[in-house]
Amino acid sequence: MDRKIGVYICECGPNIAEKIDIDKVIKAVSPLDDVSIATRYKLLCSEQGKKFLEEQIKKNGLTHLVVAACSPRDHQHTFMTICENAGINPFLFQLANIREQCAWITENKEEATNKAIRLTKAAIGRVRYHVPLEKKEIESNPDVLVIGGGIAGMEASLHLASPQRKIYLVEKTSQLGGVVTNLEKTFPDMQSCPKIIQDKIDQVTNNDNIKVYTNCEVTEILGFFGNFEGTVTQNNNEDKTTVGFNVGAVVLATGCALFDPTDDPNYGYGKFDNVITALEFEKMNLAGNIRLKNGKTPKSVAIIHCVGRDKKGYCSEICCMYSIKFVRYLQNKIPEIKISNFYTDLCLPEKSYQKFYEQSRGKKNDFIRIDSIKITNPGNKLTITHNDEQGNKKSHGVDMVILSPALEPSVDTKKLAEFTRISQDDEGFFAEEHEKLGPVTTSTEGVYIAGCAQGPKSIQNTLIQAEAVAGKILSSLIPGKKIEPEVKVAHISESFCIGCKTCLTVCSYGVITFDSTKKVCVANEVICRGCGNCVAACPSGAASLKHFTFNQLRQELKEAVL
Amino acid sequence: MNNKNSNSDILVIGAGIAGIEASLMLSKSDRKVHLIEKNSYTGGMSIKFEEVFSNMECSTCMISPKQQDLLQDKNINLIMLATVEDVKGSPGDFKVKIHKKPRYVDMDNCIGCTACFDPCPVSIKNEFEEGLSTRKAIYIPCAGALPNVPCIDTNNCLRFQGKDCQACQDACMFNAIDFNQKDEKIELNVEAIIVATGYKLFDPNNTPHYGYKKINDVYTALEFERLYASNGPTQGKIQLKNGKTPKSGAIIHCIGRDKQGYCSSVCCMYSLKFNHYLKSKIPEIQIFELYTDLCIPGKSHQKFYEKIKQTGTTLIRATDIKITQQGQKIAITHTDEKGKKRNIIVDMVILSPAIVPNTDASQLANILGITCDDLGFYKEENQNISSVVTPKPGVFIVGCSQGPKNIQETVSQANAAVGKILSASQEGING
């Protein structure tokens, strides 16, 4: 079929009409090949303008449309909708921005007109080689695989499960609950952790739509948003029974680990009795048994903040607050105890935290700012040596030392990041899609992160992220509703590909795989986001991006710059 | 999917980043959203920032695609210049009364060409620019504001003060100026309400020892953001009131923390960001940061701090800060961490004030039937259940209206409130 391109130039009231010689533009583009009509209109985005365009397309039997007007940010969508209404594929359209890029940037009418001619010609040159792109729809599975049975995984599961949406909750250990099962109370409101966690466990186990797999690990994840296949392997039996399920989304809620204080000999951990970690102290406290190695009740305790912070290179956000919570535990259980907190900077970043700190201060409770610290064990007493703010060397003797270590990524992070084709950040946690706007989504669509697996955070913020993940899944993976993948996607030509795998290394979305039989790379168009990295990197011209093909770009550039 | 009755509509109050994020998600799940905004523009506070920590991404570039999506979204009914007047009923069936003030500019006809600005004879301080520049009585707050449609400020427009002026109407080629628009009362029926009304900054006039408003070139964080903004009053040129480039500057953290009784969580990071702002425009500038405790939670934040430290900035842990004019310069007396009295002299001071609840927070709380905590922020029912849930079923609180937080945490809460609403209404779920 012959091309019939319609070119419509918007006057945008006086905005374009007064700054650009529109008739000159019309004269310049009219003789171009395939241009069937070139004309002007006072305001194409007005209701009359939109009706006019739609009628013009139909009346003139146009096959392609070029509009020279404002920024695509303003009205690209408007004009593509008009194409659709008039019965031509919306991708057979191109917008030339002659307002923001010509009329509004110079007082020189001749220069503005010349540039407008180039941009309009470039749009015509390009649109001539546009091909229709069709929106695709694929079936999706609403079920969700949640990895990690701690508070984040359980909270997400409880918000997601319904008769239309089954949840597979996989926990590595023999029981649900995660790290919170070791705690007695939350900060700052000192609510009972066993109650909070038991309520959740009861709700999860009583929910018919949540299937719990304890003592299980995920061993494979294949597929893409709406259509993942997960494999789970039992880790406590010899024959390693495996189960597979199809799900639409995967939630990584694998929590975190604690920095190991033996990595820093200054703390004496593992060398001296009665130097314990925060988690060991929590367990001791939960058991109602705060005792020294010799069975006696401690008379003095030092709590050391920021253990491992220097090595990890980040503040773990919750250690100051849980250290202050320890003060409460101790004051409550051993009223006469003397407590010294050694800290660098107090990090109390929520509305109720400072009050909690102020209310925890007391006569038998010091907060001492230090810049370096060393724990030794001369005689039978632990001695803490440090520099105070004035730079003087001081030392304190105590019965017990509690170390508050940094939170660090759990051991499975790397493996799961590989399974789900997402990246880890510099600190080793799962990397979120966007620091500000995408805290629980990842570079792989359909893979979500919640809780300390994404970075150190409190129980409250963990719950929020788990609910946020639920929000993301519930709003995008709707039972019975099909998924519309991106249409402007990459394609790798089998005959041109030399199998060098360069594209594999530059794709952030795990779209490309290597077909080892044919020795070529293959792009999964369903999950491609159309970033074009593979196209730029491909040395043999095998990778191309729909709607941004070499020929389309060459024709556009030729008219724009030559 | 689309046979939802009107009671599945959601009301979102506040079109800042939290409200926008929640609305777009709800729309994606085929919900109709009524998004109420009291200003004439969307984007809230976040569009006032040029760059955001810690990756220094351009804030406007980050948020404007969301604002564009919002304006084009057919499921979202954006009602600007509007406030909530009354809420009755119960979850699943709230009856809401909205008061919408007229813009006096027709949203459909206006193309945002700004031809109406020049002829307007009125010139007043632009509050969006913290009073650092002027605007007309018909105006948009800054270049790039969305929607790109001006509004008439009736408190200052001559016509609305009884004078015979129609200069803007005469200048408009598109019949967009409509002096006859009237106040509207809108009644909505909604299933649930998300409150995302944001925050304001502590007013440093309440702490006179910092010299704010008494000494030239003592700025608040927001004033400095606009001074650095490429679409701001100086197009991003950092200059003193006398037009000169500052050779030295001090950034003071924790303004108002003592009075408010809490740490605002983001000030240390944005103060460190200001270092970057100053150094990027004036490489040779000497900078002092005066802080009490560095609060830089967040996995990527310390790295940012280390980078700033390497640029030669002097970080001082200081107390008893007092700021006075000293000739053409500014003197900052303080006690350092060794307990010594010190004095530094600079050209420019930037105050980083606490995040405080919006002026009308308690009034809206009364209307909604929720409460404020003793600091004035909206009170969650129980943090260990969910910080977005209020004691009033069906009413959710997100972002800084619940307490100070950064953009990431704000977005998480917006996502979480949507999670709560969609989860409760899944078929076969008791909620």
CATH code of residue A524: 3.30.70.20
Phi and psi at B255, nearest 5°, equal -70, 120
* Same-domain pairing of A270 and A393: yes
- Write the CA distances from B346 to A293, B225, B292, B319, integer angstroms: 57, 19, 20, 18
**Residue B428 pLDDT:** 59
Q: Residue B6: is its pLDDT beyond 70?
A: no
Q: How many domains does chain A have?
A: 4
Contacts of B428 in chain A (CB under 8 A): 162-164
Task: Judge: A351–B25 Cβ closer than 8 Å, yes or no.
Answer: no
Q: Residue B430: is its pLDDT beyond 50?
A: no
In a domain? residue A553: no
* Same-domain pairing of A272 and A201: no
Task: Judge: A165–B426 Cβ closer than 8 Å, yes or no.
Answer: yes
* Same-domain pairing of A378 and A440: no
Task: Judge: B174–A13 Cβ closer than 8 Å, yes or no.
Answer: yes
User: Mean of the per-residue pLDDT values for chain B?
Assistant: 95
Cα-to-chain-centroid distance, residue A286 = 35
Domain residues of chain B, as ranges? 6-101+183-198+358-424, 202-354
3-class DSSP assignment, residue A91: coil
* Same-domain pairing of A269 and A387: yes
CB pairs under 8 A between A and B: 219
* Same-domain pairing of A241 and A187: yes
* Same-domain pairing of A517 and A452: no
Q: Which of A345, A371, A399 lies at the terminal end of a domain, its last residue?
A: A399
Q: Using CA atoms, how far apart are residues B263 and B339, in angstroms rounded to an integer?
A: 23
C-alpha count within 13 angstroms, C-beta hemisphere, residue B70: 29
Task: Judge: B419–A438 Cβ closer than 8 Å, yes or no.
Answer: no
Higher pLDDT, A14 or A26: A26
Q: How close B12 gets to chain A, by Cα (Å)? A: 15
Q: Using CA atoms, how far apart are residues A12 and A74, in angstroms rounded to an integer?
A: 12
Q: Using CA atoms, how far apart are residues B223 and B348, in angstroms rounded to an integer?
A: 12
Residue A515's domain comprises 490-546
Q: What angle do helix axes A459-476 and A151-160 make, rounded to 10 degrees?
A: 30
Q: Residue B238: is its pLDDT beyond 60?
A: yes
Q: Residue A304: is its pLDDT beyond 90?
A: yes
Q: How close B113 gets to chain A, by Cα (Å)? A: 7
* Same-domain pairing of A268 and A387: yes
Question: How large is the average pLDDT for residues A14-40?
Answer: 96
In a domain? residue A482: no
**Residue A1 pLDDT:** 61
In a domain? residue A44: yes
* Same-domain pairing of A159 and A96: no
Residue A508: band (very low, low, confident or very high) from pLDDT cuts 50, 70, 90 = confident
Q: Residue B7: is its pLDDT beyond 90?
A: no
What is the value of ipTM here, to two decimals?
0.96
Question: How large is the average pLDDT for residues A210-239?
Answer: 92
Instruction: Output the CA angle A381-A384-A389, nearest 5 degrees.
Output: 155
Contacts of B299 in chain A (CB under 8 A): 314, 425, 427, 429, 455-456
In a domain? residue A364: yes
Residues 6+ apart with CB under 8 A from B117: B136, B138, B139, B150
Residue B1: band (very low, low, confident or very high) from pLDDT cuts 50, 70, 90 = very low
In a domain? residue A20: yes
- Work out the percent of chain A whose per-residue pLDDT is above 90: 92
* Same-domain pairing of A110 and A222: no
Task: Judge: A353–B263 Cβ closer than 8 Å, yes or no.
Answer: yes
- Write the CA distances from B305 to B74, B118, B196, B254, B274, integer angstroms: 43, 45, 30, 17, 12
Q: For the domain bounded by B6-101+183-198+358-424, which CATH number is listed? A: 3.50.50.60
Q: Using CA atoms, how far apart are residues B251 and B279, in angstroms rounded to an integer?
A: 13
3-class DSSP assignment, residue B412: helix
Instruction: Output the CA angle B109-B112-B118, nearest 5 degrees.
Output: 115
Contacts of A47 in chain B (CB under 8 A): 108
Sheet holding A300-307, edge to edge: A275-277, A400-405, A300-307, A338-343, A365-369
Of B174, B299, B407, the CB nearest to A314: B299
Would you call B225 exposed, middle or buried from its count of C-beta atoms within 10 A (0-12, 13-18, 19+)? buried
Of B295, B303, B413, the CB nearest to A348: B295
**CA-wise closest residue to B44 among B155, B150, B196, B194:** B196
Task: State pTM to two decimals.
Answer: 0.94
In a domain? residue A59: yes
Contacts of A43 in chain B (CB under 8 A): 111, 174
Task: Judge: A390–B339 Cβ closer than 8 Å, yes or no.
Answer: yes
Phi and psi at A517, nearest 5°, equal -75, -50
* Same-domain pairing of A334 and A419: no
Higher pLDDT, A132 or B428: A132
In a domain? residue A148: yes
Question: How large is the average pLDDT for residues A65-84?
Answer: 94
Task: Judge: A12–B113 Cβ closer than 8 Å, yes or no.
Answer: yes
**Residue A309 pLDDT:** 95
In a domain? residue A534: yes
Q: Which of A350, A370, A399 lies at the terminal end of a domain, its last residue?
A: A399
Q: Using CA atoms, how far apart are residues A552 and A537, in angstroms rounded to an integer?
A: 18
**Residue B42 pLDDT:** 98
User: Mean of the per-residue pLDDT values for chain A?
Assistant: 95
Task: Judge: B68–A12 Cβ closer than 8 Å, yes or no.
Answer: no
Rg over alpha carbons for chain A, rounded to the nearest Å, is 32
Question: How large is the average pLDDT for residues A230-240?
Answer: 86
* pLDDT tens readout for residues A371-392: 889 999 987 789 999 998 888 8
**Residue A392 pLDDT:** 87
CATH class of B202-354: alpha beta
Q: Which of A341, A375, A399 lies at the terminal end of a domain, its last residue?
A: A399
* Same-domain pairing of A358 and A421: no
Q: Using CA atoms, how far apart are residues A405 and A403, in angstroms rounded to an integer?
A: 6
Task: Judge: A470–B413 Cβ closer than 8 Å, yes or no.
Answer: no
Task: Judge: B415–A165 Cβ closer than 8 Å, yes or no.
Answer: no
Q: How close B209 gets to chain A, by Cα (Å)? A: 23
Q: Using CA atoms, how far apart are residues A103 and B113, in angstroms rounded to an integer?
A: 11
Residue B2: band (very low, low, confident or very high) from pLDDT cuts 50, 70, 90 = very low
**Best B265, B272, B383, B421 residue to mutate vs chain A (most A CBs within 10 Å):** B383
Question: How large is the average pLDDT for residues B72-98?
Answer: 96
